[in-house]
Structure 1
Amino acid sequence: MILYAFPVRTAFTDRDLEMISPVAAIKPLEFTQSPVKLPFHFILQFFQLLWFLPQTSQYLCFFGGYHSVLPVWFGKVFGKKCTIQAGGTDCINMPEIGYGNFRKKWLRKATVYSFKNCSLILPVAEALVKQDYSYDSSISPKQGLLNLIPDLKTPIQVIPNGFDTDFWKASGKERNTLTFISVATGTSNLSRAMVKGYDLIEKLAKAHPNWEFTLVGDSNYVSPNSNVKVLRKMNPSELLALYNSHQFYLQLSTSEGFPNALGEAMACGCIPIGSAVGAIPEIIGDSGVILTEKNLHVLDSAIQDFAKQDLNSFSQKAILRISRLFNFGLRKKALLEALELIS
């Protein structure tokens, strides 16, 4: 049995469970993101790991952090493989915007211990391994695991996310022109909103009151612009309909690993507009706009120039790019091989 530890259950973790459960028994163990509850969850997790020890063949963690310390320790002590999937915040140090595990002393120590002592690291993007960050000039350029942990010796294998293109697909319905959508949770928190690029989206919305913007994922987020519609967190079917009614998808994150919503939206035919951070440029390729610096005027100009082209061809490029390079099957095969569940 695989014990799968993560700080909070997300679409990422659900997809992993969906991939692994047909070929191996897997037990999800949710930890906590609350600092107040940390001591209790360390004790709880210790006894969970002890209880399941006789049946456990290996450990899997999503993100490195507090929740991965004990699985890594158990793996070392009892000679069991422990794999950590690096997802984004665990490879970043951006105190300027209040983001990244490495900006907090004890969380940094937990993250460094986990990555140094696990058996294998599976980042979702090459940029999480090592990157010379330049999108926001106010932020330190040295990001990624090898910059933040220079003496890291643990084997690393990049496995991008994958998408179910039988579900995430274009419906063929007419889309309203100059309609933009972005999806992120927790954005009523100012720091989180900045990480996801909402500050730049709001500036763009203010500059173009005739353009329509939809921000999905946090009904408590408040927009100062009347042309910005804020919606709650949606289920996959609701998101599918929303993607298919919008022309563009905005992923203007200040920092990112491999954004799920971007891939979903592109599979549905949304034309992507994204920042040059994390795996975003790799995902978008030649199917949309890649913003190399956090600058409203550069963004505005790029969109207006782009809108004069044959947008339907770019929509088709986006669909084909996800289906060929980032489909569910490719990630499933790579993940199962890395976990030694198939040969």
Structure 2
Amino acid sequence: MHLPHINYGNYRKKWLRKASIFSFKNCALIVPVSEALVASDYRYDSAAPEKQGLKNLIPGLATPIQVIHNGFDAAFWNDPGNARKHFSFLTVATGITASNRAKVKGIDLILEAAHRFKHFHFTLVGDDRFSTALPNVTIAPAMDKESLRLAYQQSQFYLQLSASEGFPNALAEAMLCGCVPIGSKVGEIAHIIGNTGFILEKRDFGLLCTIFDNLATDKTLAEKRRQARDRITTHFSYSLRKEKLLGIIDQSK
């Protein structure tokens, strides 16, 4: 990905760009986790170049590419069926004290939403050095797997409002744990969510407000909670990823 307007991506720096191009051209096989990382038309933020992905950033790339999505342990990441605090939203993101990292992860949109929707509660997990004066935003440090699972299991919604993502693990983990997903239309996010949550088509706060405004009257949230877990177990299981990766190894023998 190359998003120079928020200072993101290896291709914005000469030597990182050269090293990345050399690596991709000289390896035997590229195994990305998302089709969007191969080639995509990026339309989420009009300030970014539209053509993204390896084939657009490295014209003439001849290295074989095989997409293998991430996979997840549905026995560990589980939904105990507990009641959730209404209008509770969780986001996991590290390093967001850096302004460009915060923009990549959509933290600015989340804080704007917290300011507008004062009766909603937002939790940001991953960087306890980050701070905000907003009373309805809780900042939590990075967590171990067990603590993170509990955090997912206590939240009604999971927010993945990133400006760039390949395949965000936290989104799938949260869906397995019963969070209704709300995500930006970048990378693999829309494919992960499918029809089990809500998609922010553009980086537009008005569109995000429309999604939030409609949550209070949405009668399908309980069904979406169940569907979200089912979608990950069906399409993104750990065993499926394992099978495909072992297949690559067998072919190379």
CA distance in 2, matches of 1:280, 1:228: 24
User: Where does residue 22 of structure 1 map in the other structure?
Assistant: none
Q: Mark the runs of 5 or more structure 2 residues left unpaired by the alignment.
A: none
Q: Mark the runs of 5 or more structure 1 residues left unpaired by the alignment.
A: 1-91
> How much identity, in percent, do the aligned residues show?
50
Query: Match for 1:243 among 152, 155, 166?
Result: 152
What do you get for the CA RMSD once the two structures are aligned?
Answer: 1.2
* 3-state secondary structure, aligned to 2:128: coil
Q: Offset at 1:222?
A: 1.3
Quick check: 1:315 aligned with 2:219? no
Q: Offset at 1:300?
A: 1.1
Quick check: 1:138 aligned with 2:14? no
* 3-state secondary structure, aligned to 1:121: coil
User: Where does residue 339 of structure 1 map in the other structure?
Assistant: 249
User: Where does residue 109 of structure 1 map in the other structure?
Assistant: 18
Query: Match for 2:61 among 152, 176, 181?
Result: 152
For the Cα contact (< 8 Å) 1:132–1:141, is it kept in 2?
A: yes
CA distance in 2, matches of 1:211, 1:154: 47
Query: Match for 1:233 among 142, 155, 159?
Result: 142
User: Where does residue 178 of structure 2 map in the other structure?
Assistant: 269
User: Where does residue 195 of structure 1 map in the other structure?
Assistant: 104
CA distance in 2, matches of 1:209, 1:176: 15
Q: Offset at 1:173?
A: 1.3
Q: Offset at 1:339?
A: 2.4
Q: Offset at 1:213?
A: 0.2
Q: Which runs of 4+ in 1 moved over 4 A?
A: none
User: Where does residue 124 of structure 1 map in the other structure?
Assistant: 33
Query: Match for 2:82 among 159, 163, 173?
Result: 173
Q: Offset at 1:225?
A: 1.4
CA distance in 1, matches of 2:252, 2:77: 27
CA distance in 1, matches of 2:251, 2:131: 46
Cα-to-partner distance string for 1:14-38 (whole Å, 9 max, x where unaligned): xxxxxxxxxxxxxxxxxxxxxxxxx
CA distance in 1, matches of 2:217, 2:85: 15
For the Cα contact (< 8 Å) 1:186–1:217, is it kept in 2?
A: yes
Structure 1 residues 128 and 307: alpha-carbon distance in aligned structure 2, compared to 1, 3 A threshold: farther
- Pairs aligned (count): 252
Return the letter of the residue paired with 1:169: N
For the Cα contact (< 8 Å) 1:206–1:225, is it kept in 2?
A: yes
Q: Offset at 1:342?
A: 9.4
Q: Offset at 1:210?
A: 1.0
Query: Which region of structure 1 is more displaced relative to structure 2, 295-304 or 110-119?
Result: 295-304
Return the letter of the residue paired with 2:118: P
Which structure would you say has the larger Rg?
1
TM-score, structure 2 normalization: 0.97
Return the letter of the residue paired with 1:264: E
Cα-to-partner distance string for 1:211-256 (whole Å, 9 max, x where unaligned): 0000000000112411100000001110111111110000000000
CA distance in 2, matches of 1:163, 1:224: 35
* 3-state secondary structure, aligned to 2:2: coil
For the Cα contact (< 8 Å) 1:289–1:306, is it kept in 2?
A: no
* 3-state secondary structure, aligned to 2:250: coil
